[in-house]
């Protein structure tokens, strides 16, 4: 993040009080109540989490211990020996308690007239059928099932069917391409992949099953592929004895056959989700059943003030952690109505979101700053056409929200009244960690406000002294570190204990990888990633992963990828590339490299610019100084840092010259 942007955030001094109306019936009403809850969670965390787990979740058997900690190995196990099933909690329980006819899932397809709605009873029937189908493919407790699917109800149904069986689902974002999909399937050793013929996006159909076929040639673990016929694609290649149409298999199972939920241990994994790690390889973040579900329900209820009759819309793709926690597990475990949208905000017109809010009378809208910025650009006339008065709470996630976007969201969408919950968290945390309560926190645009109850977040410096880290709390700006475990915390990193341990290496506590600053009122301001991850439109990407694709190319000798500020995306990717000695810089090579990234990772990782350079700024020991490259990519030329220590100081002028030409 640029210094300029940090300064803009930190000089913000506007603040907004929580709305009065709705306050009296809110789950947490008022600052005093919020403070008292935080104190309670601090004084007796076991009691606090046990109470929340009891209030929110149905357990077949209660726990022996709320938390078992192994401080040396940083292993934290919540609700030990308790038994539950996430699918039971998200479906059956609400049927038993008289809500069988309530809408559980409303789906809006890309085409306006494509709407499907599942009551809890209907969801139960579909989930049981798919559980039977998976069972017939020999999927058992602990097996992995990869979900490479568009935003269609079958994705949610598959997640809940896996949970019912005790299989571990691993969603793979449908925008990922070959390399990204292959590495995830290989890492998880999935037995079954569920996919669709294609994805419908902004009026066109993109193949999904056809993408998968060459990938699976190198994924020997996959015994079957279940294919949803969604985009009406013709000539879909179906491999004999391996591929099965969803409708052929699922429809075979009669409607009245229950698939009994498999009782899971609280610390059995519920799902696996890969995210960008600090190296080229994505980390498979593993989440528990008991702790994760408790945390999903707990945060959904309090940060969105979710009530029984709310229509709640989380716009994130279900393939990301936000979709898992706040699109599926949080709202459904609370018995709410969750809305799912297949399309994009600007197709066919930039009014799509507002049309959906009016059409379904949405009460809670949770989206990302990048979406807000892009819709803000389209002008107020689009939202003004619609009746948005049912909205009660607005939410933001994925990247720091700039105050201008916050103000627009608040005024134009929220009528100048609605609270905005800016929720900071990450794949590893399972649920929100720093966030306001909508009816209890004074809001400062651009700040995620305070850590939630039980979340011991601090900012630490990392000054070196005598070769050792000296971490001191509450320095002005520094590393955002969480000192105590929380129930949503990941169980581990799949197949990679070393990576799990790396989160604790620097401070002995969980290092989020983000920078933050705490202001004089105690508000947290998130400053962005401190590691080599880049946050493009709220999608976390690893620079090392992109660099690996670039350097794998036959013409490339070296590559360095950094972030650059971007008006809509927040951050974008800027790549510096040194070609091999006898290779000329051409636009064709640029195209080739972009194509390689699209193919290997996905379009979302495609660089905004690729600059060819003669050589990289390096230390005497040969380490590329990315800090300097980041400044140049952000058009900062006069504050590059001390160039005298570079092996070739003149390289900086050459790069600046090239950068100015490229823009
Ligand atoms: O840098 C932070 C940013 O997104 C990262 C986590 O990305 P991911 O694991 O993909 O999960 C995204 C959805 C939770 C964080 O390390 N981030 C997330 N929310 C915010 C944020 N940055 C600032 N403000 C936020 N509200």
Measured in Å, residue 31 CA sits from the centre of ligand 1 at 25
Query: Model confidence over 420-466: pLDDT tens digits?
Result: 999 999 999 999 999 999 999 899 999 999 999 999 999 988 755 44
Q: What is the pLDDT confidence band of residue 79, given thresholds at 50, 70 and 90?
A: very high
pLDDT mean across residues, the chain: 93
322 Cα: distance to centroid of ligand 1 (angstroms): 10
Distance 447 CA to ligand 1 centre (A): 13
What is the rounded distance in angstroms from the CA atom of residue 656 to the CA atom of residue 307?
55
- Bridge partners (DSSP) listed for residue 470: 463
Cβ atoms of residues 187 and 494 within 8 Å? yes
Span of 231-240, 540-549, 606-615 with lowest mean pLDDT: 540-549
**Residue 62 pLDDT exceeds 70:** yes
Identify the residue whose C-alpha is closest to ligand 1 atom 4. Answer: 398
Q: What is the pLDDT of residues 519-545, one digit of tens each?
A: 889 899 999 898 889 999 989 999 988
pLDDT at 8 over 60: no
The average pLDDT across 175-191 equals: 94
Bigger pLDDT: 277 vs 253: 253
Q: CA torsion angle for 581, 594, 550, 515 (degrees, to 10)?
A: 130
Residue 2 in this model has a pLDDT that exceeds 70: no
pTM tops 0.90, yes or no: yes
Q: What is the pLDDT at residue 532?
A: 83
pLDDT digits (tens, 9 = 90+) for 356-402: 999 999 999 999 999 999 999 999 999 999 999 999 999 999 999 99
The DSSP result for 552-567, as a single string, is TSTTEEEEEEEEEEET
Residues ≥6 apart with Cβ < 8 Å to 112: 355
Contacts of 630 (CB under 8 A, 6+ apart): 562, 563, 564
Instruction: Indicate whether residue 188 lines ligand 1 (CB < 6 A).
Output: no
Ligand 1 contacts CB of residue 424 (under 6 A)? yes
> How many angstroms separate the CA atoms of 84 and 262, rounded?
8
CA-proximal residue: ligand 1, atom 11 (nearest): 426
Closest Cα to atom 25 of ligand 1: 424
Q: φ and ψ at 486, to 5 degrees? A: -140, 155
Distance CA 576, CA 407 (A): 36
Q: Is the pLDDT of residue 19 over 90?
A: no
Pairing, β 198-201 against β 192-196: unpaired
116: left (phi over 0), alpha (psi -120 to 50) or beta: beta
Substitution candidate for ligand 1 out of 295, 369, 535 with most atoms within 8 A of CB: 535
Q: Which residues contact 556 (CB under 8 A, 6 or more apart)?
A: 550, 577, 578, 579, 580, 593
Residue 470 reports pLDDT greater than 50: no
Q: Are 353 and 375 in contact (CB under 8 A)?
A: yes
The closest of 610, 625, 617 to 658, measured between CA atoms, is: 610
Q: Contact 262/296 with Cβ under 8 angstroms?
A: no
Task: State the distance from the centre of ligand 1 to the C-alpha of 369, rounded, in angstroms.
Answer: 11
422 within ligand 1 shell (Cβ under 6 A): yes
More confident residue, 331 or 178: 331
Query: In what helix (H) or strand (E) does residue 199 lie, and over which residues does it extend?
Result: strand 198-201
**Does 253 sit in the ligand 1 pocket, CB within 6 Å?**
no
Query: Can you tell me which atom of ligand 1 is nearest the CA of 435?
Result: 26
**What are residue 291's DSSP bridge partners?**
none
Is the pLDDT reported for residue 55 higher than 70? yes
The whole-number average pLDDT for the span 135-162 is 98
Q: Where are the beta strands (DSSP E) in 471-584?
A: 477-482, 492-493, 510-518, 524-529, 533-536, 539-542, 556-566, 570-579
Q: How many residues does the chain have?
A: 663
Which residue has 């989490």 as its token pair?
49
Per-residue model confidence (pLDDT) at position 471: 46
Report the pLDDT value the prediction gives residue 11, as an integer from 0 to 100. 53
What order of strands is seen across the sheet that includes strand 492-493? 243-245, 224-228, 192-196, 144-148, 168-171, 269-275, 283-288, 492-493
Confidence of residue 281 (pLDDT cuts 50, 70, 90): confident
Q: Which structure tokens are listed for 482?
A: 């969480």
Does pLDDT of 73 surpass 70?
yes
Q: Of 145-154, 198-207, 219-228, 617-626, which range is least confident?
A: 617-626
Q: Residue 254 has what pLDDT?
A: 72
Q: State the average pLDDT over residues 314-329.
A: 96
- For the Cβ of 427 lying below 6 angstroms from any atom of ligand 1, the answer is yes
- The CB of 358 under 6 Å from ligand 1? The reply is no
C-beta of residue 503 within 8 angstroms of C-beta of residue 73: no
Over 90: is that where the pLDDT of 472 sits? no
Angle CA 213–552–659, to nearest 5: 120
| Residue 510: per-residue pLDDT | 96
Quickly state the pLDDT bin for 160 (edges 50, 70, 90). Answer: very high
pLDDT higher than 60, residue 276: yes
**Is the pLDDT confidence value at 351 over 70?**
yes
Which tokens sit at 348?
């066919």
* 275 has a pLDDT exceeding 50: yes
Kindly report the CA angle at 631 between 460 and 176, in degrees rounded to 5?
A: 80
Question: Tens of pLDDT along 561-577?
Answer: 999 999 999 999 999 99
Closest ligand 1 atom number to CA of residue 423: 26
Q: How far is the CA of 278 from the centre of ligand 1 (A)?
A: 15
Q: In the structure, what pLDDT confidence band is assigned to residue 611 with cuts at 50, 70 and 90?
A: very high
Identify the H or E element spanning 322: helix 321-322
pLDDT confidence of residue 520: 87
Q: Hunting for tokens 């955002």 — which residue is that?
A: 480
What is the full DSSP assignment across 79-92?
Answer: EET-EE-HHIIIII
The model's pLDDT over 479-513, given as tens digits with 9 standing for 90+, comes to: 999 999 999 999 999 999 999 999 999 889 999 99
Query: What percent of the chain clears pLDDT 70, i.e. is strictly above it?
Result: 95
Strand partners, 245: 227
Going by the DSSP 8-state scheme, the letter that residue 130 receives in this structure is H
Give kind and range of the element (H or E) at residue 403.
helix 403-408
* 422 or 177, higher pLDDT: 422
First to last CA, the chain: 20
Mutation test residue for ligand 1: of 370, 526, 537, 539, the one with most atoms within 8 Å of CB: 526
């Amino acid at each position: 993040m640029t210094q300029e942007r940090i300064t803009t955030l930190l000089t913000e001094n506007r603040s907004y009080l929580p709305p009065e109306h709705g306050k009296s019936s809110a789950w947490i009403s008022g600052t005093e109540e919020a403070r008292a809850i935080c104190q309670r969670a601090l004084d007796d965390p076991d009691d606090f989490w046990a109470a929340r787990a009891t209030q929110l979740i149905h357990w077949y058997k209660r726990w022996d211990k709320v938390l078992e900690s192994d401080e040396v190995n940083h292993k934290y196990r919540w609700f030990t020996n308790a038994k539950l099933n996430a699918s039971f909690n998200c479906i059956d329980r609400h049927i038993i308690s008289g809500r069988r006819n309530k809408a559980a899932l409303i789906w809006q397809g890309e085409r306006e007239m494509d709407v499907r709605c599942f009551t809890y009873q209907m969801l139960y029937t579909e989930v049981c059928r798919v559980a039977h189908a998976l069972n017939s493919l020999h999927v058992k407790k602990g097996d992995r099932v990869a979900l490479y699917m568009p935003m269609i109800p079958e994705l949610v149904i598959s997640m809940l069917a896996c949970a019912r069986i005790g299989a571990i689902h691993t969603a793979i974002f449908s925008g990922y391409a070959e390399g990204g999909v292959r590495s995830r399937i290989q890492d998880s050793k999935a037995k079954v992949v569920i996919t669709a013929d294609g994805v419908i996006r902004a009026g066109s159909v993109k193949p999904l099953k056809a993408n998968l076929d060459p990938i699976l040639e190198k994924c020997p673990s996959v015994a079957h592929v279940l294919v949803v016929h969604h985009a009406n694609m013709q000539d879909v290649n179906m491999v004999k004895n391996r591929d099965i149409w969803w409708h052929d298999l699922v429809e075979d199972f009669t409607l009245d056959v229950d698939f009994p939920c498999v009782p899971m241990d609280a610390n059995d994994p519920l799902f696996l989700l890969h995210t960008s790690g600090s190296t080229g390889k994505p980390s498979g973040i593993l989440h528990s059943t008991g702790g994760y579900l408790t945390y999903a329900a707990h945060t959904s209820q309090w940060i969105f003030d979710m009530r029984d009759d709310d229509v709640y819309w989380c716009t994130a793709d279900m393939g990301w952690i936000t979709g898992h926690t706040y699109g599926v597990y949080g709202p459904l475990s609370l018995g709410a109505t969750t809305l799912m949208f297949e399309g994009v905000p600007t197709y066919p017109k930039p009014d799509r979101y507002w049309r959906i809010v009016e059409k379904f009378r949405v009460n809670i809208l949770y989206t990302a700053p990048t979406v807000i910025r892009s819709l803000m650009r389209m002008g107020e006339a689009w939202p003004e056409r619609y009746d948005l008065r049912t909205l009660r709470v607005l939410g933001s996630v994925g990247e720091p929200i700039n105050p201008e976007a916050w103000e627009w969201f608040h005024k134009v969408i929220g009528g100048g009244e609605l609270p905005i919950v800016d929720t900071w968290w990450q794949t590893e945390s399972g649920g929100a960690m720093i966030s306001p309560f909508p009816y209890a926190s004074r809001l400062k645009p651009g700040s995620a406000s305070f850590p939630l109850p039980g979340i011991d977040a601090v900012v630490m410096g990392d000054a070196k002294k005598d070769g050792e880290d000296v971490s001191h709390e509450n320095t002005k700006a520094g590393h955002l570190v969480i000192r105590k475990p929380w129930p949503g915390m990941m169980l581990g990193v799949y197949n990679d204990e070393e990576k799990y341990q790396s989160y604790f290496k620097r401070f002995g506590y969980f290092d989020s990888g983000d920078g933050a600053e705490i202001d004089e009122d105690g508000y947290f301001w998130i400053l962005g990633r401190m590691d080599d991850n880049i946050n493009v439109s709220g999608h976390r990407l690893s620079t090392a992963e992109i660099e690996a694709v670039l350097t794998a190319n036959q013409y490339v000798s070296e590559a360095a990828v950094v972030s650059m500020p971007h008006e809509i995306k927040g951050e974008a990717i800027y790549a510096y590339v040194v070609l091999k000695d006898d290779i000329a810089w051409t636009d064709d090579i640029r195209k080739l490299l972009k194509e390689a990234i699209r193919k290997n990772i996905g379009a979302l990782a495609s660089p905004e610019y690729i600059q060819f350079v003669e050589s990289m700024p390096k230390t005497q020991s040969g380490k590329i100084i990315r800090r300097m490259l980041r400044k140049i990519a952000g058009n900062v030329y006069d504050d590059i840092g001390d160039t005298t220590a570079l092996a070739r100081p003149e390289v900086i002028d050459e790069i600046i010259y090239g950068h100015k030409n490229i823009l």
